[in-house]
Amino acid sequence: MAKLEDEAAQSTSALGPLVGLTREDIFGAVAVMLRETASDPQRLMKHSRTMGEDMIKIMTGKSDLAPNPKDKRFQDPAWQYNPFMRAGMQYYLAVQKGASHWLEDLELDELERDRARFVSNIIIDSLAPTNTLIGNPSAQKMAITSGGLSLIKGLKNAYDDMVYNKGMVSQVDKKPFKLGENVATSKGSVVLRTEMMELIQYTPTTDEVYEIPQLTIPPQINKMYINDLSPEKSVVKYQLDNGIQTFVISWKNPTKDQGHWDMADYVNSCREALEAVAKITGSKKVNVSAGCSGGQTATMLASKMASDKDELLGALTLMVCVLHPKQNDIEAGSLVSENGLALAKHRAAKKGVIKGDDLARGFAWLRPNDLIWNYVINNYLLGQDPPAFDVLFWNADATNLSGALMGDFLTVFETLAFTKKGEVEMVDHKIDLSKVTSDLFILGGVTDHITPWKATYRSTQLFGSKDVTYVLSHSGHMQAILNPPGNPKAKYYIQGDGEKKLPATADEWLKGTEEVAGSWWPYWIDWVQTRSGRKKKAPAKLGTKEYAPLDPAPGQYVLESC
């Protein structure tokens, strides 16, 4: 179960170019494979003959095909000692091997080959014998030892998913979690509510606070309480306990009627929140922290404020956020095409909103071993409940995405808007990050497959800031952020030798890094405190007369579902 939790936590959904992936791109990759196969019958005969030879060896017990030692699907001893099971595994491995050699032999360019390899892996993974009862020895043993109760429970789990989870296999047991009771428990209050967002101010936990507050801008595709999951892993609590005046935006879950909300609307809302934070705290600066698509929004905000010569923005923290994407950054990136992006924009505009459930379903099928087949085996074949894990509970609490905002995110990806200096116009200005001079803290995750760390590192070269810090957390996407002190396995990497200027490339930076044991949070909070001014007495009350406290944290908008 712990492995299942960890794998799933590394595969949480996030907004990126994949929202522009269309079925035509997938079918196109399949069509290319079929076209190349049909164009050379001799090549097909050659690979068919090789696969046939493998099949004969398997039938005669002479095959030496064995799974990769890292492949967790075939760790049960039955795969080695049961002749029937071993043969079934080897048949599957023969297909896997044959498909790999066949793809390598096709006359495809690099992009076409990447597309073909990605799609074929999805198809082959679905054929794994472990995905069925007859081909899964662990499930068979469970059925015997439980007297068949595991099968009954598995059927019930499958029925519940069909009826209550829109046909998707459940990744988390939601029953133990309740917002405001054991998730998102930090004390605070909504001090501003608009049509688009709630602004939450959290209650200080120290007698003194730093004069410059911090505002967190969360992603629009997920809910804000990722910042306050539990007292043990709450970024909000950690900031409060270290004297930071903490504010967080909570986005409203858009309906079809709000499908016109675009990047300009979200940036204007962020600006409204910044100004409210400044008035509430009496500060002339507000530091900002943001992650993933929230980081892209915060960056657009920073560019717009720089264009307007607005000096309210203080230090800026960007976590697991890609501003300079490249198509080969992620496995499925090869499937994203110019035509696919145009189709995705058109469909989003027509629908008004992209349903959160649809986004989650599409994302899951791009990583089926981690996000589908693992749970099919656990929930249906073994008859076990999915893990009760707070990160997965948050990940399953999907939100909609307005069609206009999705179109803007795709435009940013397509035009590489953040890399250009005054060439791309969005949010009523020409984007130019060289005009942004805020001190920057940028975080990446070693095993992050959603926003790969080398892609996040490119952001260090885009801004006009003289003070840029890059930290690499030894974990995946959300786990890179949720890395509180106390984890004995935690470690991170920073630039060594007291160098100030960061190298041009991630590979150069890596050569000069220093490994540090423990969580990166203390390093970051020291960085934030240094840029938060002097200390003063903590406010006795939240809000002001103009921004009177409304509902208690985490507010109303976070409770809305798709």
Catalytic center residues? 292
> Are residues 396 and 171 in contact, defined by beta-carbon separation less than 8 angstroms?
yes
Paired sense of beta strands 188-193 and 535-537, if any:
unpaired
Q: Is 442 helix (H, G, I), strand (E, B) or coil?
A: strand
Kindly list the distances between the CA atom of residue 170 and the CA atoms of 201, 397, 450, in Å, as whole numbers in the listed order. 33, 12, 21
Whole-angstrom distance, CA of residue 116 vs CA of residue 518: 41
> Are residues 275 and 391 in contact, defined by beta-carbon separation less than 8 angstroms?
no
Q: DSSP states of 491-531 as a string?
A: EEEEE-TT--SPPSSHHHHHHTEEEEES-SHHHHHHHHHHT
Chain centroid to Cα 17, Å, comes to: 12
Whole-angstrom distance, CA of residue 387 vs CA of residue 169: 12
Q: What is the helix (H) or strand (E) element at residue 217, kind and residue range?
A: strand 214-217
The tokens of 49 are what?
A: 């003959």
The tokens of 463 are what?
A: 């801004």
**SS3 annotation, 197-216:** EEEEEECCCCCEEECCCEEE
Name the DSSP class of 248: E
